[in-house]
Structure 1
Amino acid sequence: MTTTLSATQPQHDTHTELALAGVCRVVVLNDPVNLMSYVVLVFKKVFGFDEQTARKHMLEVHELGRSVVWSGLREKAEAYAFTLHEWHLTAIIEPDEKN
């Protein structure tokens, strides 16, 4: 008696993979140290924001104490948060309940 193994590959469920990977937000928090012009510069360099978008996020940080600057897969969010920390900005990652 011979046994044959099926060579079929399991199908990937992208929705499930995203749920497992987690969708997160990168949030920059206000701090009393960095100048507003410096925060604008960092947003432009790290995220490629234009001047207007970078200023909008900087003003949210300054006036509201926080700004969601990016949303996506957790691994990329962690990389962005790490990069922001290297630029001496206070950034956190939180789950994005919308996705």
Structure 2
Amino acid sequence: MGVMITATAPERTEDVDLRLTPEAVRPWQTVVWNDPVNLMSYVVHVFREYFGFPRAQAERLMLAVHHDGHAVVAEGAREQMELHARAMHDYGLWATVREAPQ
């Protein structure tokens, strides 16, 4: 004798919208931190060479690193910010990636 099994479809209670909203795609930041090793002129050079910043912007960011201990040098997609942080490490700078505050 066989056993008869019956199955019923699960009930659908609600539709979920899986589209990404601006709130769901928050930007990330590359942050360069102050260190006791690199000269301020070298940090300006790195910011100009790698990011292509004009001298005034590179100097402003370097001064933020020097006086405030850190500066946000880029903001965007996480993968791109990780590439920037790796590049800063290659230049000998201390950099991290963080989710941008709301």
State the TM-score, normalizing by the size of structure 1.
0.78
Structure 1 gaps of 5+ residues are: 1-11
SS of alignment partner, residue 24 of structure 2: helix
Tell me how far 1:14 sits from its aligned partner.
5.2
Does 2:76 match 1:37? no
What is the number of equivalent residue pairs in this alignment?
A: 85
Greater per-residue helix proportion: 1
Tell which structure's C-alpha radius of gyration is larger. 2
Identity of aligned residues (%): 41
The match for 1:15 among 15, 21, 30 is 21
Q: Which runs of 4+ in 1 moved over 6 A?
A: none
Q: Tell me how far apart the structure 1 counterparts of residues 91 and 21 of structure 2 sit (CA, whole Å).
A: 34
Q: Tell me how far apart the structure 1 counterparts of residues 20 and 51 of structure 2 sit (CA, whole Å).
A: 26
State the TM-score, normalizing by the size of structure 2.
0.76
The match for 1:78 among 78, 82, 89 is 82
Structure 2 gaps of 5+ residues are: 1-17
Name the Cα RMSD after superposition.
Answer: 1.8
